[in-house]
Structure 1
Amino acid sequence: MQRFYSSWMFALPLLAVLLAVTAWLYWPGTSGPPLLDDVSSVLVIDDLQSQPERFWDVVFGDGSGPLGRPVSMLSFALEKLWLGDSLQISKRVNLALHLFNGVLVVSIFSLLLARIAGPAAPVLATLLAGAWLLAPLQVSSVLYVVQRMAMLSTTFILCALLAWVLWRQRLAAGQMAWHWLLLVLLAALAAIFAKENAVVIVPVLLLVEALWFQCRDAQGLLMPRWQRAVFGAIAAGAAGLLAVAALRWESLAGAFRHRPFSLEERLLTQLRVLWDYVGQLLWPDLQRLGVYHDDFGISRSLTDPLTTLWAAVAWGAVVVFAALALRWRQGRWAALCIAWFVVAHAVESTVLPLELYFEHRNYFPSLGLWLLLGLLLVACMRIGPPMVAPVLTLLGVYVFWLALQTSPLVQIWSSRPLLAMHHINGHPDSARANTDMAVLMAGAGAMTEARHYSQRAFASGGGERDADRALRDLALACIAGATIDPSEIERIGTADPQRPVSSVTTLLTLVRLLQDGACPGFPRERFADRMAILFLVEDFEHKAAANVYSSLAVLENALGRFDYALRYTEQFLALSPNNTRGQLMQLHFATALGKVEVVEQMIAALQAKQAAGELNVGEQQTLALYTEQP
């Protein structure tokens, strides 16, 4: 029986079943709504089937990260070009990618477990991959379309890791196999250009070598020169990171000035966040799973809240355990699994000024915990051959239980109302969850309830100003078709006159509604006049973020008040110099007003950019409207 489980004759059909079950469970969720960054990164992509010339604009035009994430955007562009413009298609592509990643996980786990002579390695690897595929924590990666960036970077990380393991096997046999090493490099680069946090592949590969392969050849003999190179690279990387952190600590801390927490508070909070990830992965609390975790409490000190201290003590115990485990060969394998989870979180859970908690950050790091579970089960199976079948059966039952947890969660993700109610039930103090419920109520014409949830969003402590709440209430009234009290407009900005608005998104949402004519009874001119009083002032540099002025320029353009629009655009360019979008807007408004000198100045600046290859196809087409002779 043990020989049967150690072959692929059982593992391959089992893998096919797990992939089919995963696809079947996730399929209803592919009809779900867009969320958060889906709107700004995916839904804004042009219909490339009718405008294929915009293809490369999409690939290289995203500003989500410092590298532009062109590999991820290439996947979106190809999807729009070949499969059409549909959010449902995007979610199904994510699902297909998830299934493919599951196959890669099986391949890697089986090779790693075979390396340590783990009993029933193929079946164990398949069941562990099934647990990873079906864990409820993965739902927000697969069905949140923009998280294809995290999924695709993981795809290439897994390809690099698989190529490394295959190369390492050849190296142990005394062969170099340069083609596998080249694939490692290419896959690692593709992963980083899919999403920058994939840079963690470098330390993960080094740790896999140092702690799993332990720098030994096929006969188990130590390779001293190779060991020195690997440990030297680890030491140099660790020293470099510590030096950068020490030398740039003040600048790193300064990047948190727009966050409601400091760098030190974020680091303390992550001690609790990482433990919460572990719990949600292995024993999920479905009610709290979802996209919105902006209500996660900030750790102000080690004792505020006190759970921060317990989390720190627990992580200290884990570090001590891992350090002690390094003395034994089997202990190093366990240390790798722990390091895999922690190091893979190193980019998004340490010093960068990111939000505190997102489930999709576990897509790759969680593999370390599943591999650790595999090691524990290997230890159980090594007690004797009679233990193999019961241990695998128990793991299979656990995978089935995870599938039962994921199924209702996916059903919730298939419906905007269900998802909104799920979020508000699990996170009653979340500003985003309350805002979603407010929009849902407004869409149903229940303006009283919409205002109630809007007030709860404001009271959640998310850093909103009174004007943000007032703008949201106006947008909700627009959605509900309710009558606007003019006094509500006049009160905007009275509470915080120095810097009235903190949320560009709230203002832009209302502006788009007004631009699209969705609010026929809305006093648009009166609202625009109030905005002009607040923002068309001499000290505009300190009044608002640059995009507030570009949003107000869009509003004035919709009203045909080009003189106001031009002034807003000038303010936008003063805060965001040389911005191409702002220059094109200024060209448009100056042309409408007949300001020849400004028009010539903008055309000259934009043509210089075009000559330098700095304009994308869409921007060139827009510029051509003003430069081509009639």
Structure 2
Amino acid sequence: MFKRLLFLLLLVSAIFLIYAPGIHGPFIFDDLPNILHNSLLRIQTLDYSSLTSSATSGSAGPLKRPVAMLSFALNYYFASGFEALAFKISNVIIHSLCAILFFILCIQLRKLSALCKQEIAPPSQTFYLAAAACLLWAVHPINLTSVLYVVQRMTSLSALFSLGCLSTYIAARNNLIKHNLTSRNAGLLLASLSCLILALYSKENAALVPLIIIWLELTLFPNSSLLTRFSELPQSTRRVIYTSIAILFTLVLFVLINYASNGYASRPFNIQERTLTELRVVSFYLLLILIPRIDAFGLFHDDIALSTSLITPWSTLSSAIFLLVLMSTVFVFKKKNPLYAFGLGWFFIGHLLESSFFPLEIAHEHRNYFPFIGLMLAITALIPDKYAQNKKFFSAAFILVLILGATTYLRAVQWGNYQRLAYFEAEHHPDSPAIQALLSNAAFQKGDFETATTAINKAMILSPDETAFSLHYQNILAISKKTIPHQVQQDTLKKIRNNIVSPSTELALDQISGCLIKPICKPLIKNYIEWLDELIKKKPKQSYFHYLIGKAHRASSNYALALNSFQRSHELDKQYLHPLFEMAGIFLSLGQLDQVELIIGWIEEKNKASEFRRPKELKRLKTMLENAKQQASDNPLPPT
């Protein structure tokens, strides 16, 4: 027991030491809309209303990920603000807990594997092999974005609860073999189910955990009573069951593909291109894990070329063959080395959602966080127990931990500063449009307008169909007090008309809208309104676009058009309360307090039924109204 506690202490210490340089870095990219700009996370009390409002304030995924969103709100509350350091330390703690659970799970699985082979797992060898697997996973640089990229807490929290689900399930399953169903087993199964629910509401990837459990049953519980009874069924009955499963699988696959197809409207690739490209991407992930070159890692991997067929590029076919051969080893070693089969199966199951036909971005390193645990189990399963206390094993493990830890440490140093991160990312991925945009933004914040302009121009060349880069380019020109050429605006409008409205474009519009009220961005208002006019022609029922053009009209003091736009925005989406607050702000500035009271009544009524309630903003608006009334009574207008 002392040995295990000492190892866990060293494990957590190593994790904090390696990630220490990166915890002082800022919020970046998706952190901004999901966390920093989410007013519902700014809770002041831990009452039920505040907690539920913050938990349901997410927009990512079909389940909105309330567990992760609640954790962000609690971070805000206990840190007294959006302090990036507090959020990143919390992520490091979650990563440490995942590593501890992986260690526990690894010991459980190695014991199961030994039983499966009718062997006895030597405690000492089991400990050392589990410790090696856990430590190598914990310090590997591919996990860095899941730790230092704050919003990816969704990934690490889901992994944490998924590990808890698997560990408690195995404990319950072992007890069921020995004692049948007892209150202890029932409690463990309930705990496992609770962990699965928490994992699902952290990120939807946890929907794959039941498949991993089924694979666990097939590989490490092959002699269970359920499987034995199934094998004893008449052949005709088994055929009916197999046929039913095949039909169900086909129907589910058809529904999922149909669902996924609807999401490609905002992507620069189609379902075939993404599915084929993912063959190369998964192979690329394996290369990153096995040969962790620091210049190969990155925040974005949009410099990966799309596969348009199995032979274009040729590496698509070679990747497909490689993955098929690798998957076939699962069945070859299923009886001889069940832990290897289980671990490798876990890796491939873990990639079924994010590395298949769903309309997500092509590649992200954080997608390996949970699947990599399975791969690490498979790799260490290839090491015979007798070598676990060998000096060569210790030496090799120590050297690998040093190499991986040093690489992660160097990456953490880069992540500790926004400008440094952008410059290193651009050096490692010069052909990534998103990285060039990141470099442009970092240089822009530093006041280096020349580098900012050069980088955003390169991003536009690398990705000519991405409208967001053209919007950012105009924003840079405006703030650097340069004239925006007429042709630049015409080219931007042409892109808006002809290209898809990507999430990056919507994010750029949102960011620029916040600048319009500043004097330095006033020259951009006319162009901004023209952008929104084109977008509204394309998507006339998109509430958000009417809201944004309303903000632009308000910034230009054209209050009549602003009010019309905000009213139209709210009519299109009754749950969207932002336009009502903007309308109240206009009437407040005009001194029309009766209108403000009327809108407050609307907000109170809508707030009850809204999915995204805004009690704090409503309270603030009421306070502003009372102050305005008090000021009006203290300074009455002279009689006319």
- CA deviation map 1:81-103 (0-9, x unaligned): 22332111100010011111111
Could you say which residue in structure 1 is the equivalent of 2:366?
A: 360
Q: Is contact 1:573-1:582 (8 Å) kept?
A: yes
Structure 1 counterpart SS, 2:516? helix
Q: Determine the C-alpha separation between the residues in 2 that align with 1:542 and 1:45.
A: 25
| Amino acid corresponding to residue 324 of structure 1 in structure 2 | V
Equivalent of 1:564 in 542, 561, 564: 561
| Deviation readout 1:484-521 (Å, 9 max, x if unpaired) | 45747864645347368751222222221233x3xx44
Q: Please, which of 615, 618, 626 is the counterpart of residue 616 of structure 2? A: 618
Query: How many Å separate the matches in 2 of 1:257 and 1:65?
Result: 17
Which of 308, 316, 321 lines up with 2:316 in the alignment? 308
**Aligned counterpart in structure 1 of residue 86 of structure 2, from 81, 89, 101:** 89
Does residue 160 of the first structure (1) align with residue 168 of the second (2)? no
1:22 is aligned to: 15
Tell me, yes or no, if the aligned pair for 1:474 and 1:510 is still in contact at 8 Å: no
Between the aligned partners of 1:498 and 1:44, the Cα distance in structure 2 is 28
Q: Which residue of 1 aligns with 2:525?
A: 528
Distance change (3 Å), C-alpha of 1:49 and 1:544: closer
- Cα distance in 2, alignment partners of residues 233 and 291 from structure 1: 45
Q: Assess if the C-alpha contact under 8 Å between 1:97 and 1:151 holds in 2.
A: yes
Q: Deviations over 1:467-500 (max 9, x none)?
A: x444312322455x44445747864645347368
Q: Greater CA deviation, 109-118 or 183-192?
A: 109-118
Q: Provide the C-alpha distance between the structure 2 equivalents of 1:106 and 1:276, rounded to a whole number of angstroms.
A: 26
Letter in 2 for 1:291: L
Q: Deviations over 1:260-284 (max 9, x none)?
A: 1111111111111111111111221
**For residue 105 of structure 2, what is the aligned residue in structure 1?**
108
Q: Deviations over 1:184-242 (max 9, x none)?
A: 1111001101111111111111211221222448xxx9753699999999997775343
Taking the aligned partners of 2:402 and 2:241, their CA distance within structure 1 comes to 41
* Structure 1 residue 351 displacement after superposition: 2.6
State the Cα distance separating 1:134 from its structure 2 match: 0.4
Letter in 2 for 1:354: L
Are 2:128 and 2:388, in contact at CA under 8 Å, matched by a contact in 1?
no
The one of 260, 267, 283 equivalent to 1:259 is 267
Contact 1:210 1:227 in 2 (8 A): no
Answer yes or no: is the 8 Å Cα contact 2:475–2:524 preserved in 1: no
Please list, as runs of the form range in 1=range in 2, the aligned pairs for 1:421-460 lying within 5 A after superposition.
421-460=423-462
Tell me how far apart the structure 2 counterparts of residues 19 and 185 of structure 1 sit (CA, whole Å).
27
Distance 2:249 2:292 in 1: 34
CA contact (8 A) 1:498 1:543 kept: no
4+ runs deviating over 6 angstroms = 225-238, 590-604, 625-629
Change (3 A) 1:55 1:182: closer
CA contact (8 A) 1:489 1:530 kept: no
| AA at the equivalent of 2:401 | V
State how many pairs are aligned.
Answer: 606
| Residue 56 (structure 1) shift | 3.2
Cα distance in structure 2, aligned partners of 1:71 and 1:51: 18
Question: C-alpha separation between the residues in 2 aligned to 1:536 and 1:130?
Answer: 55
Structure 1 residue 393, shift from structure 2 partner: 3.6
292-301 or 184-193, which deviates more:
292-301
Cα 1:537/1:399, change in 2 over 3 Å: closer
Q: Which of 170, 195, 202 pairs up with 1:187?
A: 195
Change (3 A) 1:471 1:70: same
Native 8 Å contact 2:148 2:415 kept in 1: yes
Q: Which of residues 324, 335, 341 in structure 1 aligns to 2:341?
A: 335
CA contact (8 A) 1:447 1:482 kept: no
Structure 1 contact 104–159 (Cα < 8 Å) conserved: yes
**Which residue of structure 1 lines up, in the alignment, with residue 331 of structure 2?**
323
Q: What SS is found at the alignment partner of 1:173?
A: helix
The runs of 5 or more residues in structure 1 that have no matched partner are 1-7
Q: Is the 8 A contact 1:209 1:215 kept in 2?
A: no
Question: Aligned pair 1:498/2:497, yes or no?
Answer: yes
Is the alpha carbon distance of 1:130 and 1:514 closer, same or farther for their aligned partners in structure 2, counting shifts above 3 Å? Answer: same
Letter in 1 for 2:67: V
Which moves more between the two structures, 123-132 or 504-513?
504-513
**Residues 88 and 150 in structure 2, CA contact (< 8 A), matched pair in contact too:** yes
Q: Within the alignment, does 1:551 sit opposite 2:548 as a pair?
A: yes
Residues 1:235 and 1:148: Cα distance change in structure 2 (over 3 Å): farther
Change (3 A) 1:234 1:201: farther
Structure 2 residues not aligned, in runs of 5+: 115-119, 630-640
What is the CA–CA distance in structure 1 between the aligned matches of 2:487 and 2:27, rounded to whole Å? 30
Please tell me whether the aligned partners of residues 465 and 495 of structure 2 are also in contact (alpha carbons under 8 angstroms): no
Structure 1: distance between partners of 2:238 and 2:408: 40
- Cα contact 1:541–1:575 (8 A) shared by 2: no
Which is further off, 537-546 or 398-407?
537-546
Choose the corresponding residue for 2:382, options 371, 376, 379.
376
2 CA distance for matches of 1:75 and 1:498?
40
Deviation at residue 452 of structure 1 after TM alignment: 1.4
The 10-residue stretch of structure 1 (165-174 or 131-140) with the greater mean CA deviation from structure 2: 165-174
Deviation by residue 1:536-581 (Cα, 9 ceiling, x = unmatched): 5897354795433322322332333222212332453465455333
Q: Residue type matched to 2:474 in 1?
A: L
Change (3 A) 1:392 1:589: same
Gap change, CA 1:365 and 1:131, over 3 Å in 2: same
In 1, Cα distance between equivalents of 2:507 and 2:553:
17
Give me the whole-angstrom Cα distance separating, in 1, the residues matched to 2:317 and 2:281.
13
Displacement after TM superposition at 1:259 (Å): 0.7
The one-letter code of the counterpart of 1:560 is: S
CA distance in 2, matches of 1:232, 1:35: 53
Residues 227 and 584 (structure 1 numbering): CA distance in 2 closer, same or farther, change over 3 Å? farther
Offset of 1:106 from its aligned partner?
0.5
275-284 or 583-592, larger mean C-alpha shift: 583-592
Change in Cα spacing, 1:262 to 1:96, as seen in structure 2 (3 Å) is: same
Return the offset for 1:445: 3.5
Q: Are the counterparts in 2 of residues 536 and 567 from structure 1 also a CA contact under 8 Å?
A: no
Partner SS state of residue 194, structure 1: coil
| Equivalent residue letter for 2:556 | L
CA contact (8 A) 1:504 1:547 kept: no
Evaluate the alpha carbon distance shift between residue 36 and residue 490 of structure 1 in structure 2; reply closer, same or farther with a 3 A threshold: closer
* Alpha-carbon distance in structure 2 between the residues aligned to 1:361 and 1:559: 44
Residue 357 of structure 2 is aligned with which of 334, 344, 351? 351
Deviations 1:442-470 (A, max 9, x none): 334433332211111111126313xx444
d(CA) in 2 for partners of 1:227 and 1:602?
70
**Structure 1 CA distance for aligned equivalents of residues 496 and 535 of structure 2:** 14
Assess if the C-alpha contact under 8 Å between 1:31 and 1:415 holds in 2. Answer: yes
Which residue identity lines up with residue 22 of structure 2 in the other structure?
G
Q: Which residue of the other structure, out of 509, 512, 524, is the alignment partner of 1:510?
A: 512
Cα separation, 2, equivalents of 1:598 and 1:367: 58
Q: What does 1:6-17 correspond to in 2, within 5 Å?
A: 8=1, 10-17=3-10
* CA deviation vs aligned residue, 1:259-312 (integer Å, no higher than 9, x gap): 111111111111111111111112212112121112221111101111000011
Q: 1:56 to 1:456 in 2, by over 3 A?
A: same
Q: How far apart, CA to CA, are the structure 1 residues paired with 2:263 and 2:470?
A: 29
Secondary structure of 2:324's counterpart equals helix
Structure 1 residue corresponding to 2:280, chosen from 269, 272, 275: 272
Task: Name the amino acid aligned to 1:26.
Answer: Y
Where in structure 2 are the equivalents of 1:134-153 lying within 5 Å? 134-153=139-158
DSSP 3-state at the match of 2:277: helix
The amino acid of 2:565's aligned partner reads: Y
Q: Which residue of 2 aligns with 1:64?
A: 60
Q: Mean Cα displacement is larger for which, 70-79 or 506-515?
A: 506-515
Conserved 8 A contact 2:440-2:456: yes
Distance 2:231 2:156 in 1: 32
Q: Is the 8 A contact 1:265 1:300 kept in 2?
A: yes
1:148-189 superposed Cα distances (whole Å, 9 cap, x missing partner): 111111111011111011111101213321111110111100
Q: Is the 8 A contact 1:26 1:410 kept in 2?
A: yes
